[in-house]
Amino acid sequence: MEINLIIGLSTLAIIKAAPLVFGALCGLLGERSGVINIGIEGMMLISAFTTFLGSALFNQWTGGIFPTNLSLLVGLFCGIASGALIAALHAVLSIHYKIDQVISGTVINLLAVGITNYVANVYIDPTHLSGVGVFPTIPIPILSDIPIIGPILFSHQPMIYLMFILVIFMQYLVFNTPMGLRMRSVGEHPRSADTVGIDVNRTRYINVILGGIFAGLGGAIMVLESVGRFQKLMTSGRGFIALAALIFGRWTSNGALGSALLFGFSEALGVRLQFGDLNHIKVIVIVSGLALLGLGLFLLIKKIKEKEINIKKYITILILIVLGFTIMVGSNYIKFPSISIPIEFLGLLPYILTIFVLTGFVRRAKGPAAAGIPYEKQ
Amino acid sequence: MKNNNIEPILKIENITKRFPGVLANDRICLDLYPQEIHCLLGENGAGKSTLMNIIYGLYTQDEGIIYVKGIEVEIKNPIDALRLGIGMVHQHFMLIPVMTVTENLMLGQEKTTGLKLGKLSKLDRSTVSAELQELASKYGLSVNPNAYIEDLSVGEEQRVEILKVLYKGAEILILDEPTAVLTPQETDEFFNILKLLVKQGKSIIFITHKLKEVLEIADRITVLRNGKTVGTTTPKETSMHKLAEMMVGREVLLNIEKGQPKPKEKVFEVSDLSVMDNRKINVVNGVSFFIRAGEIYGIAGVQGNGQKELVEALTGLRKAARGNVKLLGNDVTNEDARSLTLTGIAHVPEDRQKHGLVMGFSIDLNLILQTYFQSPFSNLGFINLDSIHENANQLVKKFDIRTPSIFTPVMSLSGGNQQKVIIARELNRPIQLLIVNQPTRGLDVGSIEFIHQQIIVARDKGVAVLLVSAELDEILSLSDRIGVMFNGKIVTEMNTSEADRAKLGFYMAGFSDEKMFHKE
């Protein structure tokens, strides 16, 4: 039963992490090239909104003669386009007009809430505009039959696969291509980039707008792969958590995926516990065991990569892993008192984790040096 | 090197560049022959950097023509310049700290491997790193291609900068104040590199305001003043005095005139002081010395031997781990900066922009940073702007701070005037001890002269002065007694009359420890 619980939680964690990953990739492109983007939340909200409107209206106007998936694709396109458009606004404000980037981002957040709430109030709610549904789950043949890993990784809706592909691609792009090298140079020391003939502002425009496309995907996935329609304020802070994931992941694509999965897992846990069929205390014990196990494995991989030779460190890591495993297995043989945690507290989990992570772990994280500073050519 | 049969590799004619309100370059002419080191000398603001930025394509001239190898060229951006074989090493290094040497080298002209995907192809780090090593051994510029810039010393960073322009195929190297950040030892090594580069066929424009260096390294010298060419000469035809006069436009006192010190009672006494740096390593290790009223005690030493932490501990910016500090017989060890200031210690910090001034504040406010809470600047907790302005007007006049107004933010002042603001603030209080750390780094001859005079005036008034400097000439010409700091200790003390460059250099390198001579 534990294994099924963990498979279920992990699958849900990936689904919940996806919008965060897209949001974090948006932030990654911006900040790596020197433009802080605090407006990811707003960009995602607007994209979710246009995705819904695009798919629903397309479906309505064509009278439903096309397959659902086509309507959804039209919605996806609308979401991406509006993400890019709003990002372009952010770029113009912060690069061309050199407005403080935090203010420009805040403007976008406020604008997004205003526009979407207004249109929802005057148009979507009164007309009872209904959604067209969501993308179907497409299990990957053969791979999805692998036990444990199969259902967790290879039995998802299409945009989840897209997310994994984009994370890998972005990791490659940022650290192994001329485009990535230039992006990072512009975000770290724009003047030296300028002296070797790189157009600083052009690079920043390109990256911020590309980032908008990612934010668009992040907004779209909430409509197209989970809720199926637009709800007011539906991003509920995910854009900000995405930013936290980016920072916690030390401004790398892989790191952002890892931390987004952590946040996604806490959200999944909160959701799953609300069903009421599980003993809350027991689940929490199992999850802490899993956390110890995960931490142990993470450190083990890191130390092996660093070619650590100190045996003592490996012993500590081994103790972590064994302890985690023991807790998970041992929890089967203990009878836990059935105490229920109120639903409201469970919903808070990802936010509490965000605060915890931001205050506890990322104090020393150092981002791109020139992020937030408009470039002046002397 | 001047030979009428050889065509200049670079020739500029009547370059004029205007900025709003300023004529930065006024019909400047300059020619550079192959395998020549041509020094461009001038005070800060004389138009040297503007001229070089025009040649490198960062600015465009309003008038005038540039010829490269006899052909008229138009240089619109750095890429054009590099294509013409012109490379520039900027005064503030243009390297990206979080990237490796290899990555910095390829930036802008990336080599790729594998699939041809334009800007999305895979970077070819190994080829570039191999090319880098080949280049490095050819010019004797050893450097680890995989090291991150932030882990390198200043001298190494400079080598990377030079390798960068060489890698991009530069034949003409423009070096903007390359020695401003180097220690004497590093400078000597740097000059050897330059000589090797010239031997290998490169031509160099060397911008500086250090007269001694010009005479040592230049084949020809062109002096700029106020955006105009004053003249071109050779080291043989000229002297330090003549050059200084050309630069400043009047006679300059290069050797400071100072009377015999009349030291009185001990004002300041440091005994067995140890200080840790941010990594919790003891970098000052049992330092003891004293300073008497009316004398200048100079601490010489290669940078990074604990001077920074010592000064911070003496001025209340860092806690001492051991030992004690006495001012006029009172124990002031580990007191905070404000109480030390009020007891009569003045501090001219090493990094004037970071620790000496609030860059965004105007001059008048920077002049009261330590005394704003005292009368007359403040009454009952309210700031009295009138007296602040009056104070500023007086000090601007007295210390010859060149500024449009006392309300100008200090960040728009030149380095020399910024330093004058600090000196004015520190010397205008009743003080017993003046601590100055690298007081003239990066300043022009005129400002250096003024600041040196002010330090001597303070001494003659009976102030005890602690001078910390990496410039041996400064130590030798100002100090009455000299301590040499090495590895966190004062390894020797001597009177200035017994000291010379060679002797100090010997102690600065840590006695006869040969390893230290080759340490980078």
Closest Cβ opposite residue A197 in set B77, B93, B106: B77
Amino acid A219: pLDDT = 96
Q: Chain A contact for B70, CB < 8 A?
A: no
pLDDT at residue B520, rounded to an integer? 36
**Minimal Cβ distance to A197: which of B99, B108, B112:** B108
DSSP symbols for B405-455: -TTSBGGGS-HHHHHHHHHHHHHTS--SEEEEESTTTT--HHHHHHHHHHH
Q: Tell me, yes or no, whether A316 lies in a domain.
A: no
Interatomic CA distance for residues B302 and B516, integer angstroms: 11
Dihedral sign for Cα A340, A341, A346, A347, please: positive
What per-residue confidence (pLDDT) applies to B1?
Answer: 45
Domain membership of residue A6 (yes or no) is no
Backbone angles phi, psi at B308, to 5 degrees: -60, -50
Q: Domain for residue A260, yes or no?
A: no
In A, which residues are within 8 Å of B84 by CB distance?
Answer: none
Strand pairing report for A155-156 and B10-19: unpaired
Residue with tokens 């500029």: B12
**Using CB atoms, which residue from A178, A184, A193 is nearest to B112?**
A178
Cβ contact A177–B123 (<8 Å) = yes
Q: Is B82 on the interface with A (CB under 8 A)?
A: yes
The verdict on B106 touching A (C-beta cutoff 8 Å) is yes
Residues of chain B with Cβ-Cβ distance to A177 below 8 Å are: 112, 117, 119-123
Please indicate, yes or no, if residue A334 is contained in any of the structural domains.
no
Which residues of chain A carry a pLDDT beneath 70? 1, 360-364, 378
Q: Is B476 on the interface with A (CB under 8 A)?
A: no
Q: Among B187, B115, B194, which residue's Cα sits nearest to residue B162?
A: B194
Residue of B424, B504, B501, B436 lying closest to B467 (CA atoms): B436
> Is A48 inside any structural domain?
yes
Cβ of B94 within 8 Å of Cβ of A176? The answer is no
Distance CA B324, CA A12 (A): 63
Q: Is B120 exposed, middle or buried (0-12, 13-18, 19+ CB in 10 A)?
A: middle
The DSSP H or E segment spanning B64 is strand B63-68
The Cα–Cα gap between A20 and B134 comes to 46
* Least CB–CB distance from A197: residue in B78, B95, B123: B78
CA distance A296 to B282: 36
Angle between helices B154-167 and B184-199 (to 10 degrees): 20
CB B120 within 8 A of CB A180: no
- Taking CA–CA distances from A195, the nearest residue in chain B reads B78
B176: enclosing H helix or E strand? strand B172-176
Tokens matching residue B191: 């000059």
Query: Phi and psi of B176, rounded to 5°?
Result: -95, 110
| Residue A186 Cα, gap to closest chain B Cα (Å) | 9
Given a contact cutoff of 8 angstroms between Cβ atoms, the answer to whether A266 and A350 are in contact is yes
Question: What's the CA gap between B132 and B502, in Å, rounded?
Answer: 36
In a domain, A330, yes or no: no
A365 touches chain B (CB under 8 A): no
Residue B339's contacts (CB-CB under 8 Å, 6 or more residues apart) are: B316, B332
Read off the tokens for A307: 């070619």
The shortest CB-CB distance from A191 to any of B94, B122, B123 is to B94
Q: Which of B107, B111, B164, B166 is the best substitution to test chain A (most A C-beta atoms within 10 A)?
A: B107
What six digits make up the tokens of B197?
């580069």
Is residue B240 within a helix (H) or strand (E), and if so which, with residue range?
helix B240-248
Whole-angstrom Cα distance, residue B98 to residue B156?
A: 15
A132 in a structural domain: yes
Name the residue range of residue A168's domain: 18-252
Question: Omega into B430 within 30° of 0, i.e. cis?
Answer: no
Q: Which residue of A has its CA nearest to B100?
A: A181
Split into its structural domains, chain A has a count of 1
Q: What does pTM read for this prediction?
A: 0.79
DSSP state of A226: I
Please state, in angstroms and rounded to a whole number, the distance separating the CA atoms of residues A34 and A371: 4
Task: Check residue A364 and give its pLDDT.
Answer: 63
Nearest CA among A273, A284, A278, A286 for reference residue A331: A286
- Residues 192-231 on A with a CB inside 8 Å of B are 192-198
Q: Which residues of A touch B88 (CB under 8 A)?
A: 195
Those residues with Cβ within 8 angstroms of residue B393's Cβ, 6 or more apart along the chain or in another chain:
B406
Torsion of Cα atoms, A96 then A97 then A100 then A102, to 10°: -60
Residue of chain A with shortest Cα separation from B57? A195
The Cα A92–Cα A78 span in angstroms is 21
Q: Which residues of B267-278 are buried (b: 16+ CB within 10 A; e: fewer)?
A: bbbbeebbbbbe
Q: Cβ B120–A177 below 8 Å, yes or no?
A: yes
CB B303 within 8 A of CB B470: yes
Q: Which of A29, A196, A201, A364 to mutate to test the interface with B (most CBs of B within 10 A)?
A: A196
Q: How is A308-334 classified by DSSP, letter by letter?
A: ---HHHHHHHHHHHHHHHHHHHHGGGS
pLDDT in tens, chain B (520 residues): 445 568 899 999 999 998 877 788 999 999 999 999 999 988 777 888 889 999 999 889 999 999 999 999 999 988 899 999 999 998 888 999 999 999 999 998 899 988 888 888 999 999 999 999 999 888 888 889 999 998 887 788 888 999 999 999 899 999 988 887 776 777 888 899 999 999 999 999 999 877 888 899 999 999 998 889 999 999 999 988 888 888 888 777 666 778 888 888 999 999 999 999 887 888 999 999 999 999 999 999 887 788 999 999 999 999 999 999 999 989 999 999 999 999 999 999 988 888 899 999 999 999 999 899 988 899 888 999 999 999 999 999 999 888 888 998 998 887 888 999 999 999 998 999 999 999 988 787 788 889 999 999 999 999 999 999 988 888 999 999 999 998 899 999 999 988 888 788 788 877 654 444 444 3
Supply φ then ψ for residue A8, to 5 degrees. Answer: -60, -45
Question: Taking chain B, what is the end-to-end CA distance rounded to the nearest angstrom?
Answer: 33
Q: Chain A contact for B99, CB < 8 A?
A: yes
CA B520 to CA B517: how far, in whole Å? 8
Residues whose CB falls within 8 Å of the CB of residue B165, separated by 6 or more in sequence, listed in order: B87, B88, B89, B173
**Dihedral of the CA atoms A333, A337, A342, A347 (nearest 10)?**
-10
Place of tokens 């002042």: B413
Distance from CA of A38 to the nearest CA of B (A): 24
Structural domains of chain B ordered from first start: 10-85+171-248 (3.40.50.300), 95-157 (no CATH), 253-344+431-520 (3.40.50.300), 354-429 (no CATH)
Strand partners for B67: B11, B72
Q: In angstroms, how far is the first alpha carbon of chain A from the final one?
A: 65
Asked, for residue A355, whether it belongs to a domain, the answer is no
Q: Tell me how far apart the alpha carbons of residues B222 and B206 are, in angstroms, rounded to a whole number.
A: 10
Q: What is the pLDDT of residues A147-191, one digit of tens each?
A: 889 999 999 999 999 999 999 999 999 999 999 999 999 999 999
